[in-house]
Every structure is written in C-alpha cells, then in structure tokens.
Amino acid sequence: MALLNILRYPDPRLHKVAKPVTEFGDRLGTLVADMAETMYDAPGVGLAASQIDVHEQLLIIDTSDTKDDLKVFINPEITWASDEKLIYDEGCLSVPGVYDGVERHARVKVRARDLHGAAFELEADGLLAVCIQHEMDHLLGKVFVEYLSPLKRNRIKAKMVKEVRGLEREAALKAAGRRF
C-alpha cells in the first residue's frame, strides 16, 4: 500500500468529470487499498478517486469512530433524495483546514457496485448521507466550497494558493539544500 498525493483546491484537475469504472480486478483493489490508507492517514472520512487525480467513478467512506467500516462505491448513483435538508459543517481533504456549512439532503438512496463489481443499494442518513453527496460531487468535478458565497470562495481560494506556494517554496529550498 502507498500514500497518495491529494490534489488541493483550486487545482483545475479537481474539476474534471470522472468516467465510469469498466474493469474490476487487481488494479482496482490496489487503488482502493491505497486510497483507504491515504484517507485514514490524512485523516478523513471520505475520499473520491478524483481527489488523487484518478478520474474514475470511485469513492470510499468510513464514518465509524473505530475506522473499521470502509464502504466502497463504484459508479455510484443517487436514486432518491429526501425533501428534508440539513446543514452540516463540511471539510475536505482537498481544502485542508476549511470548514463551512453546506445544505444537503438529509437522506439518500444510492446504487453502486462494490470492489468485485456486484451491484448494491444503500439508504443513508446523517453524516453518511452528507459524505456520499460530498464525495459524489467530486466525481462531477465539484468541490464543496462552490456551495459557499463568492466572497467566501474567493477568500478560501486565495488562502489555498498562498499555502501551495509556500509548500512549493519549502520543497524547493529543501531540494536545493540537498544538492550542496
């Protein structure tokens, strides 16, 4: 297993629409294992393949306190959503350190395939329903900050760009130090 690089907002690759998974096998199993290790290490409760620059309809979620209930959704599709909504303070591994309220459906039904290609349906509410909707947005090329006001979104974008530049500068200095 390996830790994967998580794309950071406003990276334009986060806006690519994912394609359906058509092949189930060892490559997919390795990808899910690596995504799980990355998500747990981050730490997070969900990760979409789009966030690691793999633009396939794959997401993983584990909302358990014990981090032992990994759910894998391949080619997920929401088949029903409640009229009832809730506002949940969301965060995102692609937008570290930023949390804000986003209105989502309180309950959803999702149809997907598991790691072996078997179809299943799941009804979710609360945090799991929020996570499913959040991660599915990534597969559509959407990041949760796009639900926020333009002012908030622009402030977050500026903050993220500044942080990425700082990380790049730090990496360049470390690399230069190793050469001498």
Domain membership of residue 113 (yes or no) is yes
Q: pLDDT tens for residues 78-93?
A: 999 999 999 999 999 9
Cα of first residue to Cα of last residue in the chain, in angstroms, is 33
Domain membership of residue 77 (yes or no) is yes
Q: Is 131 annotated as a binding residue?
A: no
Domain membership of residue 179 (yes or no) is no
Which tokens hold the place of 178?
Answer: 């190793």
Q: How confident is the model at residue 178 (pLDDT cuts 50, 70, 90)?
A: low
Domain membership of residue 16 (yes or no) is yes
Domain membership of residue 43 (yes or no) is yes
What is the span of the domain harbouring residue 127? 12-148
Provide the CATH number for the domain around residue 31: 3.90.45.10
Which tokens hold the place of 62?
Answer: 């584990």
Q: pLDDT tens for residues 108-148?
A: 999 999 999 999 999 999 999 999 999 999 999 999 999 99
Which of 37, 77, 84, 135 does the annotation list as catalytic?
135
Domains held by the chain: number: 1
Between the CA of residue 107 and those of 17, 66, 130, 147, what are the distances in Å? 24, 23, 8, 19
For the question of residue 146 being annotated catalytic, the response is no
User: Torsions phi, psi of 50, nearest 5?
Assistant: -60, -30
Domain membership of residue 163 (yes or no) is no
